[in-house]
Amino acid sequence: MKIYTKKGDSGNTSLIGGEIVKKHNIKVDAYGNIDELNSFLGLVRDFSDDDQVNDIIVTIQKKLFSIGSLLALGDYKSVTKIDNKKLQIKKIDIDYIENEIDKIDKNLSTITKFTIPGGHKLISYLHITRCVCRRAERKISYVNEIEKLDPNIPAYMNRLSDLLFILSRYFCKKLNVKELYW
């Protein structure tokens, strides 16, 4: 099977289910942001030597494939007919992120100011990844206005950006990088 089909040369693509849409369609834009986020998480993992954090990231990357697949559905209402547990985002997935945030955050100092990104490549990549996550979250919010998504999807994305922020602080501490504040 060839990797190229030439079907997208005219600016169109197909959603899961066969619906043809423009490549700038909001759903395509949303799952494109998820793909970008997933790639940046891979980059973060490449710079991290922390096996526990890397395991968390891989778990999240798998969930992002699920979210991207759900966003790529031509008819989201048909998701109730999909009996694929791999595609589901559940409350337990959000709880997982919250538990990881709480475990990491309990060992960090309290902050009352905005942190200025930077200080180490890994920390900077985490902040970039957090920003990409926020952008993906905004796109998902827009898709959610058009067709009501499972409320666990926007909640998962919101919590994920919080985790990425906490991870940037965690690596500041671990790498002995002074946090800068605004």
Is residue 67 within 8 Å of residue 144, measured between CB atoms? no
**Would you mind telling me the total number of residues written for the chain in this entry?**
182
Bridge partner list, 20 = 14
3-state secondary structure the chain: CCCCCCHHHHCEEECECCCEEECCCHHHHHHHHHHHHHHHHHHHHHHCCCHHHHHHHHHHHHHHHHHHHHHCECCHHHHHHCCCHHHCCCHHHHHHHHHHHHHHHCCCCCCCCCEECCCCHHHHHHHHHHHHHHHHHHHHHHHHHHCCCCCHHHHHHHHHHHHHHHHHHHHHHHCCCCCEEC
Q: Choose among 17, 22, 31: nearest CA to 78.
A: 17
C-alpha separations of 149 from 38, 53, 78, 102, 144 in Å: 20, 29, 11, 27, 5
Architecture of domain 12-181: Up-down Bundle (1.20)
Mean pLDDT of 47-73: 96
C-alpha separations of 55 from 60, 85, 106, 113 in Å: 9, 20, 19, 30
Give the pLDDT of residue 83.
Answer: 60
pLDDT-derived band at 1 (thresholds 50, 70, 90) equals: confident
Show me where the domains of the chain are located: 12-181
Over 80: is that where the pLDDT of 84 sits? no
pLDDT-derived band at 91 (thresholds 50, 70, 90) equals: very high
Amino acid at 170: Y
Tokens of 52: 């526990």
Give the pLDDT of residue 78.
Answer: 62
29 vs 78: which has the higher pLDDT = 29
